[in-house]
Chains A and B, each alone.
Chain A
Amino acid sequence: MSSLILRTAIRYLFPIIVLFSIFLLLRGHDEPGGGFIGGLLGATAFALFAIGYSVETSRRMLRFELHQLMGVGLLMATLSGVVGLILGEPFLSSAWIEIPIPGRPEPFKLATYLFFDIGVYLVVLSITLMIVYALAEE
């Protein structure tokens, strides 16, 4: 589809959508949001490129190959669960380290669940795009 309006709009929408999807991903730690919904939203940004330009453009925008992205995401999510096992807790137990931030009373807690969520984000993003591309390339 070569609509000038769509193409122009995508250029401005793309960074906003990606930014918002990352915002949703990080917000999901304590509040509504999370890796799944963030990944879906991120995929729509790239899907827009596939619709407005072509699947090739969209693939180039992504830079990474989808299978590899999915592998990295899944590996990240799994390994975040294995951390618990290494610490002697059951699989998928949460573990975190506290990083003090100057100028803030509360330290920043870096938890394994964050990596789990990022992994989910990558998996959802890549699988959704895989489906979109497969159907768009027909």
Chain B
Amino acid sequence: MNWLIVSPIILPLILACIMLILWRHPVWQRWIALAGMIALVGCGAGLFGVVYSNGVQSEQLAGYGAPYGITFVADLFSSIMVLASAILGTAVTVYSMTNIENRRESFGYYPLLHLLLLGVCGAFLTGDVFNLFVFFEIMLMASFVLLTLGGERGQMEGAIKYVTLNLISSAIFLAAVGILYGMTGTLNMADLSIQIAWLAENRPEELPLLTILAMMFLIAFGVKAAMFPLFFWLPASYHTPPPAVSAIFAALLTKVGVYSMARFFTLIFTHDIGSTHLIILVLAGFGMICGVLGAAAQNEFRRILAFHSVSQIGYMLMGIGLMVMLAHRDDEVAHHAVQMALAGTIIFVVHHLFVKPNLFLISGVVERIGGTGELKKLGGFYKSEPLLAIMFLISALSLAGIPPLSGFWAKFILVLAGLQLEQYFIVFIALLTGLLTLYSMVKIWAAAFWSDAPEESPVHNAAHMAHARHGLRRMIYPIAVIAVIIVLFGVFAGPIFDVAMEAAAQMLDPAAYLDAVRFEEFSPTLGRGEEVDS
């Protein structure tokens, strides 16, 4: 049973190795990569099923008990994230078969894709802070290479900013890990939760340092998540690689940052909710406004999408930030509303994990046919590609939050939670941002799909069109599948909300998480002592 927890890590690793051995055969790599992604979906679904029916699961690597060994924990949130990442990975793999040129394929695109998934799934499942750092680095290394694969000038310039800021964030993360270890003597997340609660109760003089530490982690994760003042690497780099890479980055990299933040600020740093979570809430509000205004000023398909990510991250953080109200109110209504806010974050993360990449994938098709991403030089796609236009509409309206699509429910739940907690200002910002998002999406729609193709556009060139349409089906099918998922997400919003509420309940009350981790007495001779319940 417990092999399921480590399977999302082992499977991509083994497949990446096999693809490395088959370095000279990129075509074989394609199909191995696709088979691996489908198997990963199976593992994710199995893990989700087990966690949903049996509660939080954990595994100690090599049998060394917590807090000494490395812990892997799967709760509802993490298993949902693994499943969603695997589904998206499958779609992007199919899309890549046409979108990624042969020269990029032969430099190990598919093994890198699997290594990226390995890092992402590992970060979702690990229960150890240092291990989280390691998985972050695996994910970053894979993303560095994916970003620069091909070596065009724009890619290099974008990569310098991306690499530098992420390395700074890693250095801050590492320093924070060191101080955390010095203060508590443990790096196991479950143990940290207990130790920090103990410190907060018995050593009030340590609290300021703990809050500083929480802020260091906030900055480290904030850079990865493209949180408000730390997001500049994202719009500078996301539009430079091929659209398939942009899509997988937009889907997974920032989500890992948000996931880690959600994990740390519900499980570990709950000693001073009044100040730490207030900062998150304020930054979330700024992020929403800044991202959407930045996008409004852009005139290129993928740059608009990249800037929008910043505002969408703001929504995700809003759900975490709303926990601040627990410091001021302790009644039943507040608890329920905070649980709903966290559920809103979870739903928003999953919704964004499908919608944003789908828009990037559509931008890839548009760029392939239209020859450019500049909105001014595009047009006529509604006439020539009606199906693509409909799929764009579904994704774009979902991003803007039009009912009954997935984005509407995600925003609706967050706004409802905000209203119940009487945080009217942030609710106002959230609604305003939704409106401005619609503006940007309409801008793309009007320029690329609705208007006529300009004279100089390559769509009038028959030879270009024949080349562009070759293998286009493999780009369209994944987009269609994700569009269907987005619609279904909206239709089955009720059951999804119930699952998200349960996941949020697990996060707000760490008892289930702590129970699942098997602590052990110190027994240095064997390394495996008597297992005792915490």
Contacts and interface: CB of A to CB of B under 8 A. Distances in A.
Interface in A86-125: 89-94
Contacts of A85: 3, 6, 10
A40 to B, nearest CB: 19
Interface in A51-104: 65, 67-68, 70-72, 74-75, 78-79, 81-82, 84-85, 89-94
- Range class of the B interface residue count: 20 to 34
Contact of A91 (B10, B16, B19): B10
Contacts of A71: 16-21, 23
Nearest to A66: B23
B63 interface: yes
B6 A72 contact: no
A64 to B, nearest CB: 10
Contact of B17 (A65, A74, A91): A74
Contacts of B128: none
Interface of A: 65, 67-68, 70-72, 74-75, 78-79, 81-82, 84-85, 89-94
Contacts of A81: 10
A67, A70, A84, A91: most-surrounded residue (chain B CB, <10 A): A91
B108 interface: yes
Interface string B10-30: 100110111111011000000
Contacts of A65: 23-24
Contacts of B10: 78, 81-82, 85, 91
Interface stretch (B54-62, B162-170, B383-391, B461-469): B54-62
Given A68-B21, A71-B23, A75-B21, A92 B14 contact: no
B21 to A, nearest CB: 4
A91 B13 contact: no
Contacts of A89: 63
Nearest to B20: A71
B524 to A, nearest CB: 17
B62 A91 contact: yes
B18 A90 contact: no
Interface of B: 2-3, 6, 10, 13-14, 16-21, 23-24, 59-63, 108
A-B CB proximity, top 10 nearest: A71-B20, A75-B17, A71-B21, A67-B23, A92-B62, A91-B6, A74-B17, A71-B17, A90-B63, A93-B62
A82 B14 CA distance: 10
A78 B18 CA distance: 11
Contacts of A94: 62
A74 B2 contact: no
Contacts of A91: 3, 6, 10, 59, 61-62
9 contacts: A71-B23, A75-B17, A82-B10, A82-B14, A90-B63, A91-B6, A91-B10, A92-B62, A94-B62
A71 B14 CA distance: 9
Nearest to A84: B62
Nearest to B6: A91
A75 B61 CA distance: 18
A67 B145 CA distance: 15
Given A74-B17, A85-B10, A90-B61, 19 more contacts: A68-B21, A68-B23, A71-B19, A71-B23, A72-B21, A74-B16, A74-B20, A75-B14, A75-B18, A78-B13, A85-B3, A85-B6, A90-B62, A90-B63, A91-B3, A91-B10, A91-B59, A91-B61, A94-B62
A89 to B, nearest CB: 6
B20 A68 contact: yes
Nearest to A79: B14
Which of A65, A75, A85 has the most chain B CB within a 10 Å cutoff?
A: A75
A120 to B, nearest CB: 13
A82 B108 CA distance: 25
Nearest to B24: A65
A67 B23 CA distance: 7
Nearest to B19: A71
A90 B59 contact: yes
A118 B62 CA distance: 18
Contacts of B18: 71, 75
A138 to B, nearest CB: 13
Of the candidates B2, B16, B17, B62, the one having the most CB atoms from chain A within 10 angstroms of its own CB is B17
A67 B62 contact: no
Contacts of A75: 14, 17-18, 21
A113 B463 CA distance: 58
Contacts of A82: 10, 14
